[in-house]
């Protein structure tokens, strides 16, 4: 039997406002379930620097080779040994922008305002910046001259060389590069990350290799008094959904009593107390990587006064009724100790 609904009564629709849910809206601006890069680096580990065209840090690349057994009346050798080199990283610049027309503000005001139009424009622009940081954070610029900042794969490089070579520290330079952070790993072999290949997500393959990677990258200073850039070993493990799901199945296979919960581990896989986290942007990487990032040595650098600097333009050029806001960032990433980071993957290819 046909019935009459409220929306079919013309006078009711004309004379009555809907329940509008003022001042709120649902965020469906992106496909990301969560974003990692900007939140993790910018809020917790960002370091600002006062000035200079680029940032540098110092590396002691070897001991001086003077320790030896001697007899009585030995002759000491105190010749100086050059053991220091310098890492460098140039700045990169990012901008996001938004504008609004004066009459739009006049129309979008109380009592006719449902949500603040100005706020939505600002949020949309910043949301685009978050998406940009997340995507570029898991990418390596194709060349040194690109405008984009250097993401994790620039510092943590894949390799298909067996771990019997260099004990697994075979992540040298990305394709198209000869140096990383202005340092050549051929000249300084210890300036390399740990990298190896795996074939399948099994205890005998991936898990054994993950255990080796975390063991071999757990460096401690030779001398306790060494002043270090490391703010404390703080690992994050990041991978694709397929690898995370396969690891969950391995975890469940160890537990004979799942009870009534079909997802008893609540999506969490932990290795040595470090959660294995799904990074949505890695879905474009067909090699099923697991990146082991030590956030104690992997940092954002931001130029003081130029980190998310907003510039409001009251009247835009050639548009007298338009105001605009430009947000600019001068930044880049830098890693003071590549050996504390690793990547496991089925191949060395990288997404575009």
The residue ranges of every structural domain in the chain are 31-62+81-224+231-345
Distance, CA of 103 to CA of 263 (rounded, Å): 53
| DSSP strands (E only) in the chain | 46-49, 54-60, 84-90, 92-101, 194-197, 235-239, 270-271, 274-278, 290-294, 298-303, 309-313, 322-335, 342-345
pLDDT digits (tens, 9 = 90+) for 111-132: 766 677 888 888 899 999 999 9
pLDDT digits (tens, 9 = 90+) for 305-345: 888 899 988 888 888 998 999 999 999 999 999 999 999 99
Residue 270 pLDDT grade (very low, low, confident, very high; cuts 50, 70, 90): confident
Containing 244, the helix (H) or strand (E) segment is: helix 241-253
Listed residue (188, 164, 151) closest to 339, CA to CA: 188
Q: Do the beta carbons of residue 239 and residue 304 sit within 8 Å?
A: no
**Secondary structure class of 264 (helix, strand, coil):** coil
pLDDT digits (tens, 9 = 90+) for 7-44: 666 755 665 556 656 667 677 777 778 888 887 776 65
Q: Is the peptide bond before 348 cis (omega within 30 degrees of 0)?
A: no
């Amino acid at each position: 039997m046909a019935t009459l609904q409220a929306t079919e009564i013309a006078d009711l629709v004309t004379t009555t406002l809907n329940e509008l849910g003022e001042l709120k809206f649902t965020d469906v601006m992106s496909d990301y379930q969560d974003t990692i890069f900007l939140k993790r680096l910018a809020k917790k580990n960002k370091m600002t620097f006062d000035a200079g065209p680029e940032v540098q840090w110092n590396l002691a690349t070897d001991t001086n080779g003077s320790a030896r057994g001697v007899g009585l009346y030995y002759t000491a050798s105190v010749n100086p040994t050059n053991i220091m080199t310098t890492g460098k990283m140039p700045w990169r610049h990012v901008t996001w922008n938004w504008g609004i027309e004066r009459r739009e503000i006049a129309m979008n005001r109380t009592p006719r305002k449902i949500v603040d139009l100005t706020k939505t424009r600002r949020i949309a622009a910043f949301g685009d910046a978050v998406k940009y940081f997340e995507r570029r954070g898991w990418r390596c610029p194709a060349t040194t001259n690109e405008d984009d900042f250097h993401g994790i794969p620039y510092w943590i490089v894949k390799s298909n060389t067996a771990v019997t070579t260099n004990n697994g520290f075979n992540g040298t330079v990305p394709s198209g590069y000869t140096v990383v952070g202005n340092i050549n790993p051929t000249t300084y072999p210890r300036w390399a990350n740990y990298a190896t290949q795996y074939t399948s997500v099994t205890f005998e393959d991936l898990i054994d290799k993950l255990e080796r990677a975390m063991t071999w990258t757990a460096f401690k200073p030779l001398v306790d008094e060494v002043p270090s850039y490391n703010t404390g070993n703080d690992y994050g493990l990041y991978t694709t959904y397929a690898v995370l799901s396969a690891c969950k199945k391995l975890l469940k296979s160890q537990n004979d009593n799942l009870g009534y919960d079909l997802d008893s581990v609540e999506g969490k896989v932990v290795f040595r107390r470090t959660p294995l986290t799904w990074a949505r942007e890695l879905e474009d990487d067909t090699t099923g990587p697991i990146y082991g990032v030590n956030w104690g040595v992997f940092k954002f650098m931001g130029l003081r006064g130029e980190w998310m600097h907003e510039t409001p333009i009251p009247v835009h050029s050639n548009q007298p009724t338009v105001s605009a806001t430009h947000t600019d960032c001068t930044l880049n990433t830098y890693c003071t100790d590549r050996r504390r980071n690793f990547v496991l993957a089925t191949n060395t290819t990288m997404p575009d």
